[in-house]
A = this chain, B = another copy of it.
Amino acid sequence: MASSIHDLARHLNISIGTVSRALNGRADVNADTRQRVLDAAKKLNYSPNQSGRSLRRGATHSVAFMLQPHPGDQEYGEPFFIPFLTGLQAKLAESGLDLIVVMGAPGDYQQERLRRVVETRRADAVVLAWTRREDERIDYLTQSGFPFATLGRSRSGGDSYPSLDLDFEKAGADAVDRLVARGHRRIAAIRPSLDLNFGYLFLAGYRKALRRHGIEFDPELIADGFINEAGGYAVTPKVMRSKDPPTAIIFNNDAMALGGCKALAETGIRPGHDVAVIVIVDTPLCRYFSPALTGFRPALEPMGERLAEMLLASIPAYAGAEGARITREVWPLELIARDSD
Contact = CB atoms under 8 A, between A and B. Distances in A.
A231 to B, nearest CB: 10
Interface in A213-233: 228-230, 232-233
Nearest to A120: B50
Q: How many copies does the complex hold?
A: 2
Interface stretch (A84-92, A189-197, A241-249): A84-92
Given A76-B284, A233-B288, A121 B301 contact: no
Interface string A61-86: 00000010100011111111111011
Interface string A272-299: 0000000000011101111010000000
B120 A47 contact: yes
Interface string A117-154: 00111100000000000000000000011000000000
Interface residues of A, number: 68
B259 A288 contact: yes
Given A119-B2, A228-B284, A283-B75, A60 B69 contact: no
A288 B83 contact: no
Nearest to A233: B288
A105 interface: yes
Contact of A48 (B47, B82, B120, B265): B120
19 contacts: A1-B144, A1-B145, A51-B51, A51-B54, A55-B55, A69-B82, A69-B83, A75-B83, A76-B79, A76-B283, A79-B79, A98-B122, A101-B103, A229-B285, A229-B287, A233-B288, A262-B288, A262-B289, A290-B290
Interface of A: 1-2, 45, 47-52, 54-55, 60, 67, 69, 73-83, 85-86, 88-90, 98-106, 115-116, 119-122, 144-145, 228-230, 232-233, 255, 258-259, 261-262, 265, 283-285, 287-290, 292, 300-301
